[in-house]
Amino acid sequence: MEIEQILQSQRDFFKTQQTKSLAFRKMYLEKLRNLIISNENIFYEAIYKDFGKSKFDTFTTEISFILNDIEYYLKNLKSLAKPQKVSTNLVNQLGKSKIHSEPFGNILVIGAWNYPYQLSLSPVIAAIAAGNCCILKPSEIAENTMKSMSMIINENFPPEYLYVYEGGIDETTELLKLKFDKIFFTGSTKVGKIVYKAAAEHLTPVVLELGGKSPAIITKNANLEIAAKRIVWGKFLNAGQTCVAPDYLLVEESIQEQFLEMLRKYIQQFKYGPDSEQYTMIINTGNFQRLINLIDKEKIYFGGNYDEEKLYIEPTILHHIDGNDQIMQEEIFGPLLPVISFKNYNTALNAILEMKKPLAAYLFTNNTEEKENFTQKLSFGGGCINDVVMHLSNDHLPFGGVGSSGIGNYHGKFGFETFSHQKAVLEKATWGEPNIKYPPYSEKKLSWIKRFL
Ligand code: NAD
């Protein structure tokens, strides 16, 4: 079937009202959970073929995430979907006011390749929990994971409700010409702009989950051991191909040498190697070439080796970096970690303020004033104090960008709200109607209204 026909069938199906029933939503959430569990090995094999990602990393950063999402919605669906009573102002007495969470209808989810299961299925789960029909277009770059999702979902879900559409740029361009009720896109800022423009043609609301250069600041007041250990883990997880990975470090000058040594120690301790369980390959030769061109050999503190055949790049730390270096001009999205030193904390914050608003920001310190300044002064999608990456694992926190790192957010109740229209309904009693607002107007009526309002 052509994708246009599938979308039309989803529009028709949505109009039947079936997806609005909580029992229907729960039935399919449970079905998806069971399919993910029973096909876990297919998912592991596919992602391993795509970029050598291990079972351990795939379970902790992908499968467990989506299973938790499903559990969250199964547990909380009733309270999330319940109309919310709010107070009614004086002029609307005698009346009752409620906010109804209503599904938008037909959703398009466009996924990225770096966490292909989580970034495709997490929004799909929120969309169906909120009562929508959905077409998912995963990233073609992680081809095997795309095929595994389309096979498992398309064989088990009615296409008029949930459908996985395989394809790359051409297919996405075609999809974007069609009218959806909401588009949820994860990917680069460049493609985000293309999606936003296409959506504007139909006045379709969008969520754009984009990237950017996410800084981590380490001051002399930090627990340096913990900071180094957590940063090495968060940066080299998925070989740095993580949207919220610390992109670059700003390290207070007085502790720089000591801190660089600690980073080196943990990289060695974690045993990241070309064939190791704990390391991932670069997704393709295009990205591999882009990344090795960012390595300034004169500035390597640690690492710098690579193997093109295996698409392996060693965890690499670069020092003596400043804002003019090539590596500071674009999001790195790979296992290269530039380190910039600073003398004054406020100058470091001001330097971040001069850049585009990042998707994430991190601060390592035990100083209260530094923590307050970080939270108050900087604008970023989300972040952590004394950790990296982990904020997105708390589904009580919204996950999304700000400015050029994105529009909108999801996870937990925020995901449900993202895929729901907040419909306001005021219900009035049919008695006790004062004549004051009705024509003909008079000075006396106006003076009463002035007292009221
Ligand atoms: P991408 O923008 O190249 O691709 C994302 C999706 O857009 C894919 O499904 C792809 O098929 C489609 N696409 C690509 N070019 C297109 C075009 N010209 N027209 C229409 N569709 C097109 O991104 P990517 O390489 O998959 O992911 C890397 C980027 O995504 C990084 O910038 C990263 O920071 C960001 N990212 C953000 C998040 C987040 O949650 N905020 C998560 C992961 C990745």
User: What CATH number is attached to the domain comprising 54?
Assistant: 3.40.605.10
Is 12 found in the same domain as 39? yes
Is 260 found in the same domain as 191? no
Catalytic residue among 62, 209, 252, 314: 209
Ligand 1 nearest-atom number relative to CA 400: 41
pLDDT of residue 1: 67
CB 184 within 8 A of CB 207: yes
- Domain assignment present for residue 253? The answer is yes
- For residue 205 the two structure tokens come to 């609301």
- Domain assignment present for residue 255? The answer is yes
- Domain assignment present for residue 446? The answer is no
- Domain assignment present for residue 433? The answer is no
Is 345 found in the same domain as 258? yes
Q: How far is the CA of 192 from the centre of ligand 1 (A)?
A: 8
Catalytic residue among 62, 134, 160, 243: 243
Please list, in sequence order, all residues whose beta carbon lies within 8 angstroms of the beta carbon of residue 324, skipping any fewer than 6 positions away: none
Q: How far is the CA of 114 from the centre of ligand 1 (A)?
A: 9
The CATH number given to whatever domain includes residue 230 is 3.40.309.10
- Domain assignment present for residue 178? The answer is yes
Please, what sign has the CA dihedral across residues 33, 38, 41, 43?
negative
- Domain assignment present for residue 450? The answer is no
Is 251 found in the same domain as 365? yes
pLDDT of residue 452: 78
pLDDT of residue 214: 98
- Structural domains of the chain, count: 2
Q: Which helix (H) or strand (E) holds 170?
A: helix 169-177
Q: Which of 61, 109, 136, 188 to mutate to test the pocket of ligand 1 (most atoms within 8 A of CB)?
A: 188
Q: Is 160 a catalytic residue?
A: no
Is 391 found in the same domain as 411? no
pLDDT in tens, the chain (453 residues): 699 999 999 999 999 999 999 999 999 999 999 999 999 999 999 999 999 999 999 999 999 999 999 999 999 999 999 999 999 998 898 999 999 999 999 999 999 999 999 999 999 999 999 999 999 999 999 999 999 999 999 999 999 999 999 999 999 999 999 999 999 999 999 999 999 999 999 999 999 999 999 999 999 999 999 999 999 999 999 999 999 999 999 999 999 999 999 999 999 999 998 888 899 999 999 999 999 999 999 999 999 999 999 999 999 999 999 999 999 999 999 999 999 999 999 999 999 999 999 999 999 999 999 999 999 999 999 999 999 999 999 999 999 999 999 999 999 999 999 999 999 999 999 987 888 889 999 999 999 988 877
Is 101 found in the same domain as 28? yes
| Backbone phi, psi, residue 309, to 5° | -60, -40
Is 61 found in the same domain as 204? yes
pLDDT of residue 275: 83
Is 122 found in the same domain as 84? yes
Q: Which of 135, 186, 237 to mutate to test the pocket of ligand 1 (most atoms within 8 A of CB)?
A: 186
- Domain assignment present for residue 430? The answer is no
What own/partner pairs with CB < 8 Å and gap ≥ 24 does 298-306 have?
299/325, 299/338, 301/260, 301/264, 301/339, 302/260, 302/263, 302/264, 302/267, 303/267, 303/335
Is 313 found in the same domain as 175? no
Residues in contact with ligand 1 (CB, 6 Å cut-off): 110-114, 119, 137, 139-141, 168-169, 172-173, 186-188, 191, 194, 209-211, 243, 331, 333, 359, 401, 406
Q: Is 209 a catalytic residue?
A: yes
Ligand 1 nearest-atom number relative to CA 192: 2
pLDDT of residue 3: 95
- Domain assignment present for residue 48? The answer is yes
Is 168 found in the same domain as 97? yes
Is 416 found in the same domain as 327? no
pLDDT of residue 117: 98
Question: Residue 314 is part of which domain span?
Answer: 215-400
Is 388 found in the same domain as 410? no
